[in-house]
Amino acid sequence: MTPEQLALRDAVRSLLDKHSDVRAAIETPHGYDKAVWARLCDIGVLPIPEQHGGSGAGLAETRIALEELGRTLTPSPLLASTLAAHALLATGNEEACDRLLPRIADGTVATLVWPWDNGRTSLDGPARYVLDGDLAEILLATDGTDLYEIDLAGVTREHTPTMDQTRRLAVIHLAGAAATRLGHWSPAIRDVALSLLAAEQVGAAARALELTVEYTKTRVQFGKPIGSFQALKHRMADLHVLVETARSAALAADDEVAAAVAKVYCSEALFKVASEMVQLHGGIAITWEHDAHLYLKRAHGSGQLFGSPAVHLERLRAKI
């Protein structure tokens, strides 16, 4: 990381250490802490050029921020707004960029409706599992060929409760809504989405392992910290290998194949680490009060988001 990126990471981490409270956030009507989101926008984590009112951060900076948000499971509109902003930029439509990007940079929630398999789709059917779909004030959608701005007046949408309460998803019905064509849709958005998600997964996995290591250093049974037992030590060592290789996969996710690799590898890594977090904590991890189940449910939800590992494995099989 460059010195600027390190400073960005530290700023986000310090903000989240002080102000992120995932339990409180998921109890709010919108499912995220608006004050924390406003501060993240001030730090400038959205990849929006300065000429469009942004901080000039790129996707690399957004990935750094998402890794931090993953660590603390902080719900935020960053992933949804980033994808919308990126799709908009990719159209090269200066008028739309000038009009919408400054608002997104200021924290207005934006989201993107797109087919995860990058196929053709109709804008008339219901779109499921749309990130922040019921909250977004700026709604962009693609039919797989072009990108459209959707007039919210004709849209019906509802929150979809899923296992992972830390991520907001919704069903959106676009039939009957006015759509304005903004430009061409760039299929590479999918690879961007997968790489951003992978960064978030790596953050969650790294933190889940840290919390587990901490716990096994302090929990005493048979007169010793349980982390001193080789049966547990080796498992955590294996998890460390998994987290570090997942981090490499996420960092390298800058083309179609590498993004698919990152999606599969990081999904499986986070699920493994979160599952082991439960097992290595024992009974306490079966409680609502302990955060292990939040990591586990996030792991499941993230695995399914933008297509399951199985779907991307199939795609890789055809590519390689």
Partner 1 sequence: MDLDLDASTLEFQAEVRSWLAAHVRPLSSMDTAQGFEEHRSWERLLASERLSVVSWPSSYGGREASLLQWLVFEEEYHASGAPGRVSQNGIFLLAPTLFAHGTDEQRARILPSMARGDEVWAQAWSEPEAGSDLASLRSTAVRCDGGWLLRGQKTWSSRAAFADRAFGLFRTGPGERHRGLTYLLFDLRASGVTVRPIDQLDGEPGFAEIFLDDVFVPDRDVVGEVGDGWRVAMSTAGNERGLTLRSPGRFTAAASRLVELYRKNPDPALRDRVVDAWIGAQAYRLHTFGALAQPLSGPAASVTKVFWSELDVALHETALDLLGEVAPGWRDGWLFSLSGPIYAGTNEIQRNVIAERLLGLPR
Which of 119, 288, 319, 320 is the binder for partner 1 (CB under 8 A)? 288
- Pattern 23-62, partner 1, x by CB under 8 A: ----------------------------------------
Count Cβ atoms within 10 A of the Cβ of residue 153 and give its class: 0-12 exposed, 13-18 middle, 19 or more buried: exposed
Q: Which residue lies nearer to partner 1 by CB, 238 or 314?
A: 314
What is the CB neighbour count within 10 angstroms for residue 227?
18
Q: How far is the CB of 259 from partner 1 (least distance, A)?
A: 18
Per DSSP, what are the bridge partners of residue 183?
A: 147
Residues 224 and 276: beta-carbon distance below 8 Å: no
Which of 262/305 has CB closer to partner 1? 305
Residue from 232, 242, 243, 245 in contact with partner 1 (CB under 8 A): 232
Closest CB to partner 1 among 203 and 309? 309
- Asked if 289 interacts with partner 1 (CB under 8 A), we say yes
Q: How far is the CB of 145 from partner 1 (least distance, A)?
A: 26
Backbone angle region of 222, left / alpha / beta, with phi > 0 → left and psi within -120 to 50 → alpha:
left
Q: Does 237 bind partner 1 (CB under 8 A)?
A: no
**Cα four-point dihedral sign 51, 55, 58, 59:** negative
CA distance 174 to 133: 11
Shortest spacing between CB 308 and partner 1, in angstroms: 6
**Which lies closer to partner 1 via its Cβ, residue 231 or residue 320?**
231
What is the footprint of partner 1 within residues 125-144 (CB under 8 A)? Answer: 129
Rounded to whole angstroms, the Cα distance separating 135 from 44 reads: 21
Sequence-separated (6 or more) residues with CB below 8 Å from residue 117: 307, 311
φ, ψ of residue 129 in degrees (nearest 5): 55, 45
Residues in contact with partner 1, shown as a per-residue x/- string from 291 to 310 under the rule CB under 8 A: -xx--x---xx-xxx--xxx
- Smaller CB separation from partner 1, 3 or 119: 119
State the Cα–Cα distance between residues 47 and 244, nearest whole angstrom. 25
- Does residue 279 belong to the site contacting partner 1 (CB under 8 A)? yes
**CA–CA separation, 275 and 292 (whole Å):** 9
Residue with smaller CB distance to partner 1, 13 or 167: 167
Closer by beta carbon to partner 1, 24 or else 231:
231
Residue that the structure tokens 């039939």 belong to: 175
CB 212 within 8 A of CB 193: no
The Cα 27–Cα 166 span in angstroms is 10
Decide: is 275 part of the binding site for partner 1 (CB under 8 A). Answer: yes
- The answer to whether 108 contacts partner 1 (rule: CB under 8 A) is no
Q: Which is nearer to partner 1, 12 or 285 (CB)?
A: 285
Residue span binding partner 1 (CB under 8 A) among the ranges 16-24, 25-33, 144-152, 222-230: 222-230
Q: What are phi and psi of 11, to 5 degrees?
A: -65, -45
Token output for 116: 């995860």
Residues at the site binding partner 1, with contacts judged by CB under 8 A: 129, 160, 162-164, 169, 220-223, 226, 229, 231-232, 275, 278-279, 282-283, 285-289, 292-293, 296, 300-301, 303-305, 308-311, 313-314
